[in-house]
Amino acid sequence: MKRKIYIRWTLVFVWMAVIFYFSSQEGAISHQKSFSIALFIERIIEALAGKDIITAANRKGFEFLIRKIAHVTEYFILCMLFYRAFFETNKSSKKSAILSGIFSVFYAVSDEFHQVFVFGRGPSPVDVMIDSIGIFGYLGIRSMKDKFNKL
């Protein structure tokens, strides 16, 4: 039992370190990596569609969308990991959901503050709101699952 708790909390801290690593990258480096990922996804979409969908005119918007989807995804995962760690520790679904939401939002805010100190980056309240979509998206799915399991 204690081993499982230790593993769950280790996963939380590892994922927090991954988020910290990504937000520690200088603006130009982060932009280049995002561009490379967006280009890779663009090629997959165009191969599946059989034609060019992403044009030079909408490429920046597509890259922006990919970056924001990444924000949602990384905080969805963080909230899920927090929930599983809290639940393993206290066995209360409601308490685990509340705590995982609070800790995930707090980490999103602290991550944006951390970017004040990264060259070419800066804090963005909009990014905290986008991160919160992932957080509350997970909590919504978790809540529906809990209600469905009670039926």
Please write the tens of the pLDDT for every residue from 83-136: 999 999 999 999 999 999 999 999 999 999 999 999 889 999 999 999 999 999
As a dihedral over the C-alpha atoms of residue 41, residue 45, residue 50, residue 54, rounded to 10 degrees, the angle is -80
Distances (CA, A) of 38 to 6, 42, 83: 36, 6, 30
Residue 79 burial (10 A CB sphere; 0-12, 13-18, 19+):
buried
What is the structure's pLDDT at 27?
78
- How many angstroms separate the CA atoms of 142 and 148, rounded? 10
What is the structure's pLDDT at 62?
86
Q: How many residues does the chain have?
A: 151
What is the structure's pLDDT at 94?
95
Closest CA to 121 of 131, 111, 130, 106: 111
What is the structure's pLDDT at 47?
87
Domain boundaries, the chain: 2-26+71-150
What is the structure's pLDDT at 106?
98
What is the structure's pLDDT at 52?
79
Task: Give the chain's mean pLDDT.
Answer: 92
Q: Do residues 38 and 62 make contact, with C-beta atoms less than 8 angstroms apart?
A: yes
pLDDT at 39 over 80: yes
pLDDT at 63 over 90: no
